[in-house]
Structure 1
Amino acid sequence: MKIIVLEGYTTNPGDLNWDGLNELGNLEVYHRTSLTDEKEIIDRIGNAEIVLTNKTPITGSIMDACPYLKYIGVLATGYNVVDLKAAKEKGIVVTNVPDYSTPSVAQMTFALLLEICQHVGHHSQAVHEGKWEKSPDWSFFDFPLIELVGKTIGIIGFGSIGQETAKIANAFGMNVIAYNRSQSEEGKKLAVYVSLDELLKQSDVISLHIPLVEETKSLIDEEAIAKMKNGVVVLNTARGELLDEQAVADALNSGKIYAAGVDVVSTESIESSNPLLKAQNCFITPHIAWATKESRTRLIDIATNNIKQYINGDPVNVVNSD
């Protein structure tokens, strides 16, 4: 059975291996594949029965041109890059990889928050530049330092990542409130559920952990920001388009939002015109919350098991079965 990985580099830049997939078939791994050139995508899939993708779209027309294709595995949790309707009509199984990055994304959320609170990178650089050595005082700091104990964090989206973030927040002595479309008993042990408006009004820190759908696009816009406390911190490790980036940049520059920490932006890789690049006190990382070695190992392991289960006639993590 021929297995094609269309874009393997971000998942495995060389520090991991594809041994498990090699055992399941004739494996061919491409570092990168065009997101827009359908001919290249079709040529690379060729007569393969199984293809793995992350951001490379698999459209109905690509499926038409690849008649041997029987299985599409998405190397991510989100699967909007695949035309699910077309796949179902053609009997092609589509799977995703859920929950592989939960600990890493929650950890990154607090990495951003702690950098905002302590400015570790800035102060380390200041020391190396000699500013502490030249200081007349034994302690040197030139940014406000913030303690998290007693602060209220509002978590929008209280699934596995939101709840993992809540566990860390509780360990820091924060008050945790959450907004989610549904409530669970497990969630009630970690946070107090509130309405979205109440969360926006009460939170000192707001952290986003919801999927991007039509209803959540630009959720944090000018109207939402107006409901927030002055000096709020906004964190986004979910999807870039959850933020109206211009509205957030304006709020950062006015001081309404004290700081923002974002690991995702609306267009990736980031464009020079993105207003967040010129906003004050905005910390931007290049979509790395998911990318710890442990997380990527889980990703490959789960994707491999998905294919193994499919070959055995008992597919799991199927997203187009309904």
Structure 2
Amino acid sequence: MAERKIVFLDAATLAEDIILRPPDFQHRWVSHAKTAPTEVVERLAGAEVAIVNKVRLERPALEQLPDLRLVAVAATGTDCIDTSACMDLGITVVNIRGYAGVTVPEHVFALMLALRRNLLGYDRDIAEGRWQETGQFCFHDHPIRDLSGANLGIIGEGALGQGVAERAKAFGMKVLFAAHKGVDGLGPLYTPFDEVLERSDVITLHCPLIPATQGLLGMAEFEQMKRRPLIINTARGPLIVEEDLEVALDRGLVSGAGLDVTLPEPPAPDGAFMRLARRPDTIATPHVAWASHEAQQALADQLVGLIEAFVAGQPRHVVSGEF
């Protein structure tokens, strides 16, 4: 068998201690920590397999890569790949699935608990000497709310939304799965979208970014939120109009936000996301809800398995293209 060239364009998106075992066929593996758009064609020259996480592969670059046969996305989302061009050029695209069913729900609850119990506020106060100033065994500068009995609105009913719901029930929360915006009659599992906005104490997003969900939560939606909910977003940044979220927090329409995603990533230093990150009512993390050690290793194992399956003539998790 001829040696197959495999190129990972943004290997630094995985932690250094994650093990990528060698595929079980003759190959040459080349890793780059990160790759600029202008470097894509040069680095993939002669490659049969490209591995990417967030590097964009657009038609003009793909058309210059006649040897490329497989794009293995080291993530679930494939919005960075021109899948239509891949289809036209006979390039198969595969993605990782089912690896984040624990790590994302746990991250959601870490954000939810920290915000509902104002952990960062109390931690900051203690570091600044507030406890000594009070002269008593406790102080109540920040409100603390239980999760038990609270209404949790979940937008997105896939594996991650279901994982959050399972944990929410263990906390004694009441789960409301939102129907698609503007759509009624989807069955007893779903609560109308507008009703979820009105009834929820916490709203968490787990839906894909598609044209119908772009700007899903903006000022019109925040103004419908009667219970001043927390907003948690571990899905995709553009689901929320961040400038509107700033205003909603200022006006007390929502009580806090836990944000793991934005656009672009990393964010502009003077943009809305960074202004939100500096607020005491917001917790921001750098797109790491997916990134527990266990989940990253599962991703890496699955990634190599998908490449081996393609080479063996039995491709799995195909997003577009045919073998």
TM-score (norm 2): 0.91
Structure 2 gap segments, 5+ residues each: 181-186
- Match of 1:8? 11
Q: Tell me, yes or no, if the aligned pair for 1:179 and 1:194 is still in contact at 8 Å.
A: yes
- Match of 1:33? 35
- Match of 1:184? none
- Match of 1:239? 236
Distance 1:82 1:278, change over 3 A: closer
Greater relative contact order (Cα < 8 A, sep 6+): 2
Distance 1:315 1:20 in 2: 18
Partner letter of residue 64 of structure 2?
A: A
Partner letter of residue 105 of structure 1?
A: V
Asked whether 1:249 is paired with 2:246, we answer: yes
Taking only aligned residues, the RMSD between alpha carbons, in angstroms, comes to 1.9
Partner letter of residue 10 of structure 1?
A: T
Structure 1 gap segments, 5+ residues each: 182-187
Distance 2:321 2:272 in 1: 40
Q: Tell me, yes or no, if the aligned pair for 2:153 and 2:177 is still in contact at 8 Å.
A: yes
Distance 1:46 1:321 in 2: 20
Q: Tell me, yes or no, if the aligned pair for 2:73 and 2:95 is still in contact at 8 Å.
A: yes
1:136 CA drift (Å): 1.6
Asked whether 1:304 is paired with 2:304, we answer: yes
TM-score (norm 1): 0.91
Distance 1:128 1:222, change over 3 A: closer
Count of aligned pairs: 311
Partner letter of residue 28 of structure 1?
A: V
For residues 197-216 of structure 1, what are the structure 2 equivalents within 5 Å?
A: 197-216=194-213
- Match of 1:101? 100
Q: Tell me, yes or no, if the aligned pair for 1:176 and 1:192 is still in contact at 8 Å.
A: no
**Percent same amino acid among aligned pairs?**
31
Asked whether 1:168 is paired with 2:167, we answer: yes
1:283 CA drift (Å): 1.6
Q: Tell me, yes or no, if the aligned pair for 1:158 and 1:180 is still in contact at 8 Å.
A: no
- Match of 1:80? 79
Distance 2:40 2:47 in 1: 12
For residues 1-322 of structure 1, what are the structure 2 equivalents within 5 Å?
A: 1-12=4-15, 14-21=16-23, 25-34=27-36, 36-37=37-38, 40-181=39-180, 192-279=189-276, 280=279, 281-321=281-321
Distance 1:52 1:244 in 2: 31
Distance 1:297 1:276 in 2: 29
Q: Tell me, yes or no, if the aligned pair for 2:200 and 2:227 is still in contact at 8 Å.
A: no
Further displaced range: 136-145 or 256-265: 136-145
Partner letter of residue 235 of structure 2?
A: A
Partner letter of residue 263 of structure 2?
A: S
Distance 1:163 1:47 in 2: 42
1:180 CA drift (Å): 4.3
Partner letter of residue 265 of structure 1?
A: T
Distance 1:284 1:301 in 2: 29
Distance 2:200 2:63 in 1: 50
